[in-house]
Amino acid sequence: MEKQAETAEVIDLTALKTELPAIVHVTAWAAEHRPLIDRLTELGIDAVVCPVAGPRRPPGVWVVTPTELAASPPPSHATLVLGDPNDVAQQRQALRSGALGVVAADSPTAQLRLVLVAAERGSALLPEGVGRALATRLAEPPVDVELEPRQQRIVEGLADGSSIEQVATICGISERHARRELGRVWHQAGVPNRTVGLIEMARWGYLEP
């Protein structure tokens, strides 16, 4: 599970300023947690307070409460859930529901910055140790997950910290083709996103520890 932990932590610090989302949509319930709004303002991000999240959300990063996540269809945009990011059960539930993990309303500004950069990229930034704990607690693997050699290389490349663009170049295929292959892998595995997918692949022995 070490590779998954490394993947979650590798972020180009020099690119943080330009890669922060300009707008973060915060549901009205989530907006009641005032420290979150204050920290978004400190980061120069426009926090747009919206009604309860529905199926037709504007694109961008969203912050919702656990109740809203449970009551809504699987999110189609980058979504973070308010809670305790060090709580493995909360992280597991958020990831399985299609969100990109849990964020604390009173997270230090620097930590919130990292989480938002990851979310803008469509990835989750998991606290140290949470990834390893999740790898031992997620559901047993389905019996029909079989990776083709190219799919294996794509998954291994992502686990090593490469971007999808870099993996596509290494495999000699287009980025679109690489994303399509990756989508087939996640569909086979029955996982909602890349973060859960890499955790599951490590859990099932597709990735070397």
Residues 63, 28: Cα–Cα separation, whole Å? 10
Identify whether residues 115 and 19 lie together within a single domain. Answer: yes
- Neighbouring CB atoms inside 10 A of 19's CB total 15
Query: What CATH number corresponds to the domain at position 126?
Result: 3.40.50.2300
Query: Tokens in use for 94?
Result: 């958020």
Helix H or strand E encompassing 48 = strand 46-50
**pLDDT for position 55:** 58
Per the domain annotation, does 148 fall within a domain?
yes
Domain hosting 157: range is 143-189
- Whether 10 is covered by a domain: the verdict is yes
Distance of CA 114 to the CA centre of its chain: 12
In the Cβ-directed half-sphere of 148, how many Cα atoms lie within 13 Å?
10
In a domain, 30, yes or no: yes
How many helices and strands in the chain, by DSSP H and E? 12, 5
Distance, in Å, from the CA atom of 113 to the CA atom of 166, rounded to the nearest integer, reads 24
166 and 88 within one domain: no
Backbone angles phi, psi at 34, to 5 degrees: -55, -35
Q: Which amino acid is at 158?
A: L
Q: What is the tally of structural domains in the chain?
A: 2
Residue with tokens 């999808």: 164
The mean pLDDT values, 10 residues at a time, for the chain of 209 residues are 37 49 81 84 85 66 85 79 87 84 88 87 79 61 76 89 89 92 87 82 75
Q: What distance in Å separates the CA atoms of residue 179 and residue 93, rounded to the nearest whole number?
A: 25
8 and 28, same domain (yes or no): yes
The helix-helix angle for 130-137 and 194-203 (nearest 10°) equals 70
In a domain, 159, yes or no: yes
138-144 contacts, C-beta under 8 A, 24 or more apart: 138/92, 138/196, 138/199, 138/200, 138/203, 141/189, 141/200, 141/203, 141/204, 142/188, 142/189, 142/190, 144/188
Q: Are strands 46-50 and 23-27 parallel, antiparallel or unpaired?
A: parallel
Write down the pTM of the prediction. Answer: 0.59
| Domain match, 28 and 99 both | yes
